[in-house]
Structure 1
């Protein structure tokens, strides 16, 4: 009965997310998934710390034991945009709550089974039309994606763990007030539309000794179904869907002492092959470097810090397409703390600040400038059972 109850709880974000928009850090992705990974700049491929680990590396679930984790990332984003000229300025601010859950079971000393969930996406909300033309709607939109990852792992005698996740993804898309070549000068509004897709993820994690661990993970592109309504106009040039890009990562962790642990990840996200993003917004593939450290003060307190830096996923020539999105940040600085409540439970708190250069449009995007800031507070609870 306990197993069924915990598993059911891990799936409840599917319902919760339907009313919650999300915002992006690295394209449509966040720095890291799980409060502990996030507080270390997302460095987690070789350092799993909770039951949300499959979102970073499926093999990580082999090393977290029997546990349940639930986090909420609360995001506040602001942006200042010149849309076409300095006389057409717009400010946007948006507050969002993003849930993530995970549960893991140590079936045998070598086998685990669990479920990790996480959300990603982009969102924007302006209180007035971007184009000062009578009859234009306020400009708002969201692309939200939620993924459920049932995950199994196997650990060999030499400390090498292999993990495999099945992936089920659900998207919700909505956009209004976007300029376009349609009657009235703006794209038709179709309300909220949904799509879905399936895929897989794989990962490896090798605990070389008590100090060193290395890991790798791979996720192929998720081909999403078409979004009704929008597939015939706004998304028609790019196949009517918004596929999730292929990505892979490698990482290493090193335990300097009983109290200090360091981690480093290198991630690649292939936006070039995701048509809706590459052709629609001029997004380009990214390389992301993530580094973090954790210090165990005593048995009850652990503090963490980290940084993530990515190549900007667009260029100044595509500032016009990206001006409405904001969130064009390249660097994130994170910190966090874990407070042990009982022998089997803990509370996690993380703060993240994202920043980047002001993007000034050039060429066909002359007059489109945007600058944004991004703040996140994550609260999480972990329970070992």
Structure 2
């Protein structure tokens, strides 16, 4: 248990000191390095205790183990402004190039029916850092960008109410940090210009819940799963109540999904997930660019993000008794509409397609190590009348791709 507590402490400290950057909007494309190797298919494809982050009912099937890992993100993000009398040009947002997201989880069967555990993981985030500010010509000063990071601590309990079926509940205890710089040129549009930009880091907390179900059928050849994550109502970012709608509100949207995993042969398992994230329900994220209402008010401008569906497929092949190989592909809807690209210069989360490869090496009967690599394919969203007339008109075009590398260690008791 000493090892578990040490890993927990290190995980908390590392996550709190790290920015995060995600790929399906600002959520992670997969929770746990093993799941990342399958492009995130994990609602019915249970690998380890990180199942709590996707479907906590998987606790009933993973046994007792501790998992520690880290994922390195290398995003390439940029903006291009065209047809503007003021700010035409190319703008590089890669002031910071690498981001580390740790993960820690533990699962423990209490008896034949009850299993408990916890997971600590980065839910997602967004980061841009423009040394040459796209907003300088609009009156802003200094480097521009934002940094949002979110971390969850999720204790969970699963109940195997039948030999082949389980239900579970987990709490989502959330801590988040945010900082914005170089957008003071929007001061005349804010209800509180003194709490709009360059106020340093601010933080807030919130709590929600996650529900899960799983079942195994046809002699365990077919596994089905379903999960629901509630909206997390968070405290406000008081230092940015002149930026975010609802006086600095920034809640976490609800999400839900279903999945299936089929053991095609004793060595080959195929999996698929379908998920949905309701970004539009969060005013600071979903409100469209609206200059008739002051920034920070209930109807003030947000990023104009749409709800998205996510489709994932993955395959796991037991190549040898010690080596498992993984691959996967995922696609998500575009959260950013072409007429909403101007403010999203700060948050160009436009990637839609991910290709993943992974592997696990069994060291002995208790230990294994895993690696996963994901390429988030480059995507560009071209603006359509996206810069308001009172900012001179024109269009902002957004572009992003990512390289993602994960490493993890598991110990099974």
Verify: 1:273 aligned to 2:281, yes or no. Answer: yes
The residue that corresponds to 2:298 in the other structure is none
Q: Distance in 2 between matches of 1:8 and 1:154?
A: 28
**How far is the alpha carbon of 1:5 from its aligned partner?**
4.5
| Cα distance, 1:263–1:66 mapped onto 2, change above 3 Å | same
1:124-164 per-position Cα deviation (integer Å, ceiling 9, x unaligned): 11222223358712013211110011000111333101111
The residue that corresponds to 1:109 in the other structure is 112
Does the 8 Å CA contact 2:41/2:272 hold for their aligned counterparts? yes
**How far is the alpha carbon of 1:261 from its aligned partner?**
0.3
The residue that corresponds to 2:367 in the other structure is 345
After TM superposition, the runs of 4+ consecutive aligned structure 1 residues lying more than 4 A away are 183-186
1:357-378 per-position Cα deviation (integer Å, ceiling 9, x unaligned): 3111102343201211111000
**How far is the alpha carbon of 1:67 from its aligned partner?**
0.3
Match of 2:404, SS state, is: strand
The residue that corresponds to 1:130 in the other structure is 134
Does the 8 Å CA contact 1:300/1:340 hold for their aligned counterparts? yes
Q: Distance in 2 between matches of 1:349 and 1:189?
A: 38
How large is the RMSD of aligned CA atoms in angstroms? 1.9
Match of 1:61, SS state, is: helix
TM-score calculated relative to the size of structure 1: 0.94
1:86-105 per-position Cα deviation (integer Å, ceiling 9, x unaligned): 83211122210011110011
| Cα distance, 1:33–1:106 mapped onto 2, change above 3 Å | same
The residue that corresponds to 2:92 in the other structure is 91
Match of 2:125, SS state, is: strand
Identify unmatched segments of 5+ residues in structure 1: none
The residue that corresponds to 1:225 in the other structure is 235
Q: Report which stretch shifted further, 360-369 or 131-140.
A: 131-140
Verify: 1:158 aligned to 2:159, yes or no. Answer: no
The residue that corresponds to 2:395 in the other structure is 367
Q: Report which stretch shifted further, 318-327 or 260-269.
A: 318-327
Q: Distance in 2 between matches of 1:193 and 1:277?
A: 17
Q: Report which stretch shifted further, 216-225 or 171-180.
A: 171-180
The residue that corresponds to 2:296 in the other structure is none
The residue that corresponds to 1:216 in the other structure is 226
Q: Distance in 2 between matches of 1:138 and 1:354?
A: 26
Match of 1:358, SS state, is: strand
| Cα distance, 1:159–1:210 mapped onto 2, change above 3 Å | same
The residue that corresponds to 2:250 in the other structure is 242
The residue that corresponds to 2:308 in the other structure is 286
Q: Distance in 2 between matches of 1:39 and 1:223?
A: 31
Does the 8 Å CA contact 1:13/1:99 hold for their aligned counterparts? yes
TM-score calculated relative to the size of structure 2: 0.88
Q: Report which stretch shifted further, 58-67 or 154-163.
A: 154-163
| Cα distance, 1:212–1:128 mapped onto 2, change above 3 Å | same
| Cα distance, 1:79–1:188 mapped onto 2, change above 3 Å | closer
Q: Distance in 1 between matches of 2:101 and 2:313?
A: 23
Match of 1:145, SS state, is: strand
